[in-house]
Structure 1
Amino acid sequence: MRMNIDELNDDCLCIILEYLPLPDQIAMARSSLRYEQLLGEIVWRKARYREVSVSDDMLKPLNKEDYMFFFEVTSPHMEKLYIWNVHEKAFDSYLGRHLLRPELAFYLCLKLTNLRELCVTDDYMNNSMIQIVSKSCPHLNCLSVSSAYITGQFMVDLHNLKTLVARECSIEASHLAEMLTQLQLTTLDVTANRYNIEQTILQAPTARLLRLQRLGISDAKDFGFHIGEQLPALRELVVSYHGVKAEDLRDMMDTTRQLAASSDSKFTKRLQSIMCNVVDVEVALEQMTGLETRSPRASPQFCELLKIIYKCK
C-alpha cells in the first residue's frame, strides 16, 4: 500500500525532516507552507538551532538565498548569535563583487525577539547598528563587540543588558557614565579602549555599581587597586598595559603593594582573580622580580605576583 508523504501526521513528518541535511530541509520548507511551519516551529526550534554562529559548518553548503531564508525563519527563536568578520565574506573589494553571504546589516535587522546573547566581531560595526540592535533585540542581556566605530552611543537603550564586552572600541566617557548610571551591569570589559576611562568608573554612583562582579580595563593606575576598592561586588579584575616601560611597572607594583598593606577594606579578601597583560612580559618579569639569573619559565607569572600583592585567593 502506497502512502503520500503529505498524508502523514505532523509528528511523523518532523521525525523524517530531522534526518535530512539542512539544504534538503530548506528545500522542503520552500516547497509548501506546511513544511516551512513544521521546520520553523518544531525542528528548527530545538537547542542546536537556537545557538548559531555564521561560521557554523552546517551553514557552509547553503547558497546565499537559502542561507538568508534559514536565518529569516529561525531568527525569532534564536537565543545566541555569533557574527565574525562578515564584511570580508560578504564583499570582495578587489574583485568588486558580492560573494555568497549577506552584509552585517542583514543579521541585525532580523526579528531577534528572543535573543539573549549577541557577539559581533567586525570592523564595520558602528553606533547606528547598536541602535538597530536595541530595537530588534529587546531581551538582550549580553553584548560583545569589537570595533573602533563603537563609542557607546545608544547602548543605554539596551535596558536588559547585564554583560558588555567592548574590547578595542572607542567608548567615550560621557556614554560610559550613562551606561553605569542607567544599566545594571554585572560584567564590563573595556580593555584596549581608545580613551582612558578609569576616572569615569571611579566617579560613577556607587549605588549603580553594586552588581559589577567582573571588570576589564586598560592602563588603570596601580593595577586597578582604586577601582577594586570602590566596587563592592567585584570578584574578577583584568588590567592591560601597552607600551609601558618595565621600570614604570615595577614602580607601580611597589606602590600597589604599599596600598594593599595599608588598606583595611575587604577588597583584597573578596577578589578571586586578577589578571594583567603586559607586552614583553618575560623581560618585564625579570627586571621587576630580580630573577635575571633564573630561566623565564621558572619565574612566577605576572598575574600570580599581583595575586600575592593583593593577597587575594
Structure 2
Amino acid sequence: MTLRSVVSTSQSLTFVSDREKGLKKSVIEVFENAHHGYSLHRLLESFKKNLKGPFHGDGKGLLPINFVAAAHAVRLDGFKTSTDQIRRVSSQAYDWVLQIEPECWTNALFKGEHYNHVTSDVAETYIKWIEEVRELPIAQKIEVLSCKLMELINTRRTDSSTWPTKLTPSKEEKLRQETLQAYGLKVLFSSDTLFEVHKDSINVVDIDKWDCSCLKWKATGLPCCHAIAVFNCTGRNVYDYCSRYFKANNFQLTYSESINPSAPFQPLDSDTIDLETLHVLPPFISKPQNQEKKKQTRTKGVITRTVTCARCKEVGHNKATCKAPTTPTP
C-alpha cells in the first residue's frame, strides 16, 4: 500500500517478478488493473536447471534458444512452432514450459506493454552491491548503498546529456535499421488513417492505433518499416509514433533528481546515553493468519478415542499408569 501512495495508476502498469510464490496475487490486490510479467532472464535460468532427459535427437543445445523464441514470438503460430520444437526434443521440458502461465511471459499473449527489450538481469547490479555490504552495520550499509545510487544516477544523467539523438542510442539505431528497410515499399491509401503496404507480402497499417498487421510495432514500441513507409508518403514525423519510454528527454528526466547526501553516521555517545537502560527490542512479528488456518485444518477431523485401563477397567489411563491397588494372586 505504501508503493501505491507514490506511484500513479493513471496509466497502464506492469510489474515484473521472478515468480516468487504469492507475489502476483499480492500485487493484484493493491494494483487491481496492473499487468504482471515474469522475468525472462529468471525463467531461462530456471528452464536450464530443470532440463532432464531423455532427449531425442541432437537438439538439447537448442532448447534454450527455442524457449526464448517462444517468448519473443508475436503470433500464436510462432509460439506454437517454437514449443513444438521443444516437445520433439524433450517432452518433460515441453511440460515444464506449458505449466507457466503464457500470458505472463510471451509476447503473443501478454496484455500489457511488451517492448521486447531483454537485457541482463535488471537486479544483478543491486544484488552485487548488497553482497558487498552484507557484513556492515545497518547504518553504514544504508550509507554505502546511498552513495552507490548517487554515483549511478549522476553517471546516467551526465552520459545522457550528451546524446545528440531524439531516442536513446540503442533505439535510435533500431529505428535507423527499420528506416532502411522502408525504402522501396509501395503504399496504398485506404483512408486517412488506414494504409496497405506492399512488397513481398501485404501489411495493413493503422496509424491511429499505432498498429501494423506484422505486429512488430506493438511488440517493440518502435514503428516497423511498413509504418515508416506510410510516414514517408504522408509527411508525418516518425518520432511522434515512438514510445515515450524510448525518448532521450524522458530518460534524462528519469535521472534528473538527485539523492541528497546524508549526514555522516554518528555512533552512540556513552556519556550522554545510559547504555545500561537502553533496551533495543526485536520487531514484533504477528503470526500469519494462514498458519492459524493450517493448524485448524490439521486438527479438524481428528478422531479421539477413550483410553481404558486393562487392569482396573477404568477409563482415562492405561495399565502402565494405573494407581489401583493390585490384588495378590492366590
TM, length-normalised to structure 2:
0.17
TM, length-normalised to structure 1:
0.18
Kindly indicate which of the two structures has a greater share of residues assigned to strand: 1
Higher relative contact order (CA 8 A, sep 6+): 2
